[in-house]
Structure 1
């Protein structure tokens, strides 16, 4: 059974569970003019998931609620996150109180590692069981681990639409199965839908290769959804351009909806630390995986200190070690190479306390994997602090375009130790003399990426479109 959180309270005399009388959505393709439009927002990793995409999900739901939409979020039960991505309990209260969250069942046998609950087939032949489960999933929807969610999504979307006609569906992937709810309502009832890709389905972000055969079931499903969707959003221009080339006949539907920052999480720029003269603190905040160049960062740090630079300074690393907490990138092993203790791992940080952590830092380190398609949600929050930022990533990364023009940005010319060392020294020089006014100037430049500036116009545009369809 779905769990519902929050009250809409604006359905002209209805309670939250009652269908609206006298309103057929497709009679003129709209709700009554005295009722707000209804957004169905499908998002697997909604709060309290601690995945990086959760902030875009929260911001999108909140933006539509702020602009007068009734918003229903369709997601999974909390215990799914406890077994997979982990949870940040502080995030759940960040959803607008007008947003209704429905948590529907999610088939998750593959993530259940408790041997006591396994059946005889899985316990005695786990490889055969995995193959059978993959075959079963592919028949429903060709996405490993997630495809079996499709029937639950379609049933829930149909029920929600019957209770309160849906004006627009947005699915925010990954997983890509979230888009099936919008496709279902579109094909059954003509409801417009948007595909919001935080990640991509067919593009390997690191190699730039297409990961699915054009004749595969996954490619066929994506083509079907792209053909039917009203809009397709990607987070940066290189990814959008790749997909325009893949789907030239629908290129006009593809646009960039950038990530951004949430002022309530970051706070206002703070004054520099009064004791920074005794040693600077450079910090990185974010999940560190095998793709994060921590080894190269440590190489550069050691090289700089061997030159006699940064002698009083230190690096503090915050965040999760791998998506599953397994330190897949061997971060602790790399830290141990710095024998003087000037590089430390400080653990994860909740969003409720992240502004306090930024206030204790003098400069920020941005280590990212190598790819011209690579983007980062963290960079927007970094810019919002006004602190100096040192990029420890390949200059070809798409995030370089985002940072171009930021007043306190220092890019490493390459990931070679000497170039990383040079960049660390330069950012320390900026951090040692930066003033509060300097930080405020940098924040003013970054405000173009405030999420409300990105998402509010979209919510307004779609409301005008829905109203126009109703008046037609």
Structure 2
């Protein structure tokens, strides 16, 4: 890196706006933070059609991308389905089952990751083009998918560019069962070990996940760091001066709200049964509503099983009111008097929304097992009502306590909670990592290592 030149970050994230996947917010915030810190940022992400046809889009979210960021959309062909049948090969037309089997095997040979492995070739080709046009000083890959880590390793091999592995999720740790996924001698585990060993840093969203990786891959663990999820300062500013609800607590009731994705082993049934019990015990709760906003499952169409559960409680003032654009999240939170944090049990799972919840200043009902990483995040916060175990009676208890407190909260109470949450802001989480990496890039740049000339991706990128 020459003197006076802005460092060039290549940020790799399969899901980036307009994707509405769960990890998109961390990716967007990280890329924006580097851009605002004076870095030149190029983002490699999947093509828009993938999000439009498969996972759904949030077009408003694109407006939040820093205008200086250059977004490169890399073609991605998803094995799940091609909506345009004219693009199907003769083999696929003849036997979609056989084609799917062969395609899955080919993808795995490209990179040891189901579904996404076949993106390796296009991703490396795009990386080469970006680096040739404007040499890259640092690469950050945000996973999953884990193939996002590969461009950093590729440029490190070719031009000694440092790279960071940002684990938004885990590769070989089942965070709910607390066990390793696959054999420790598998090709994908060997690949992960190799990538971690050569990375300049690895980021994990909480201490439990960081410690697990340090035990499993100790070779470079001195460079493992916790970079937690966080809330944006601009988001928090929406709640400054938040006023208590101007309503008759018994006559008008309250609005309890959940905002996020409902999926997997989340205690939704226990929560709703607890809500039903609370309505039978409290006039205030009986006059209140429970509103679910967000996605039901990970794909465009809502999960029918979740819809079926919600429909059972329709007569208990439970309603599902659809997804929310990131740009409208603050306005939706303002419609709630209390927030419901529904999560599956895992000491490794830190929900991204818990940070936004904390920033609002509103009371929070934790409808999850205490052995969940968010417990550590919220410990010490006032107006937080956690369950001691997961069942309908315990859900009823904390909902009743939350309702009583929500009905009496004042503007001063909200402000006190907001002040407590300041340490969870994005600026606080990324300030030190960005400074560290700037020093690393500066030090490496002083060595004046020229970028090497190399061709498109080759089979030498594989590990056997």
Please confirm whether the aligned pair reaches a TM-score higher than 0.5, indicating the same fold: yes
Give the unaligned 5+ runs of structure 1: 1-30
After TM superposition, give the deviation of residue 468 of structure 1 in Å: 2.8
Instruction: Name 2:450's counterpart in structure 1.
Output: none
- Cα distance, 1:339–1:464 mapped onto 2, change above 3 Å: closer
Instruction: Name 1:265's counterpart in structure 2.
Output: 235
Counterpart mapping for 1:142-157 below 5 A? 142-157=112-127
In the aligned structure 2, how far is the partner of 1:307 from the partner of 1:341?
Answer: 13
After TM superposition, give the deviation of residue 243 of structure 1 in Å: 0.8
After TM superposition, give the deviation of residue 469 of structure 1 in Å: 3.1
* Backbone CA RMSD of aligned residues: 1.6
- Cα distance, 1:152–1:325 mapped onto 2, change above 3 Å: closer
In the aligned structure 2, how far is the partner of 1:443 from the partner of 1:149?
Answer: 42
Candidates 308, 313, 327, aligned match of 1:333: 308
Instruction: Name 1:302's counterpart in structure 2.
Output: 276
Candidates 324, 332, 338, aligned match of 1:357: 332
Name whichever of 147-156 and 305-314 sits farther off. 305-314
In the aligned structure 1, how far is the partner of 2:255 from the partner of 2:396?
Answer: 16
1:301-341 CA-to-partner distances (Å, cap 9, x unmatched) read 11222334522111011111111144437233223323534
1:60 aligns with 2:30: yes
Instruction: Check the 8 A contact 1:286/1:320 in 2, yes or no.
Output: yes
TM-score, structure 1 as length reference: 0.90
Instruction: Name 1:245's counterpart in structure 2.
Output: 215
1:158 aligns with 2:152: no
Instruction: Name 1:33's counterpart in structure 2.
Output: 3
Instruction: Check the 8 A contact 1:304/1:422 in 2, yes or no.
Output: yes
Candidates 60, 66, 71, aligned match of 1:101: 71
- Cα distance, 1:140–1:363 mapped onto 2, change above 3 Å: same
Instruction: Check the 8 A contact 2:381/2:417 in 1, yes or no.
Output: yes
In the aligned structure 2, how far is the partner of 1:124 from the partner of 1:233?
Answer: 45
- Cα distance, 1:236–1:416 mapped onto 2, change above 3 Å: same
- Cα distance, 1:276–1:345 mapped onto 2, change above 3 Å: farther
After TM superposition, give the deviation of residue 85 of structure 1 in Å: 1.8
1:363-400 CA-to-partner distances (Å, cap 9, x unmatched) read 00000011121110000000000000000011100111
1:375-434 CA-to-partner distances (Å, cap 9, x unmatched) read 100000000000000000111001111110112210011111111100000111110111
1:280 aligns with 2:254: yes
1:68-117 CA-to-partner distances (Å, cap 9, x unmatched) read 11111111111111122211011111111111111121233443255564
Counterpart mapping for 1:219-238 below 5 A? 219-238=189-208
In the aligned structure 1, how far is the partner of 2:239 from the partner of 2:313?
Answer: 34
In the aligned structure 1, how far is the partner of 2:301 from the partner of 2:119?
Answer: 26
1:434 aligns with 2:417: no
3-state DSSP class of the match of 1:46? coil
TM-score, structure 2 as length reference: 0.92
Instruction: Name 1:318's counterpart in structure 2.
Output: 293
- Cα distance, 1:276–1:37 mapped onto 2, change above 3 Å: farther
In the aligned structure 1, how far is the partner of 2:221 from the partner of 2:438?
Answer: 23
- Cα distance, 1:157–1:360 mapped onto 2, change above 3 Å: same
3-state DSSP class of the match of 1:289? coil
Name whichever of 125-134 and 432-441 sits farther off. 125-134
After TM superposition, give the deviation of residue 165 of structure 1 in Å: 1.3
- Where does structure 1 differ by over 6 angstroms across 4 or more consecutive aligned residues? none
Candidates 152, 163, 181, aligned match of 2:151: 181
Instruction: Check the 8 A contact 2:11/2:140 in 1, yes or no.
Output: yes
3-state DSSP class of the match of 1:344? strand
Instruction: Name 1:193's counterpart in structure 2.
Output: 163
In the aligned structure 2, how far is the partner of 1:469 from the partner of 1:401?
Answer: 37
Instruction: Name 2:362's counterpart in structure 1.
Output: 387
3-state DSSP class of the match of 1:74? strand
In the aligned structure 1, how far is the partner of 2:325 from the partner of 2:235?
Answer: 10
Instruction: Check the 8 A contact 1:75/1:101 in 2, yes or no.
Output: yes
Candidates 327, 343, 348, aligned match of 1:368: 343
After TM superposition, give the deviation of residue 156 of structure 1 in Å: 1.6
- Cα distance, 1:311–1:138 mapped onto 2, change above 3 Å: same
- Cα distance, 1:119–1:363 mapped onto 2, change above 3 Å: same
3-state DSSP class of the match of 2:431? helix
In the aligned structure 2, how far is the partner of 1:330 from the partner of 1:144?
Answer: 25
In the aligned structure 1, how far is the partner of 2:173 from the partner of 2:209?
Answer: 8
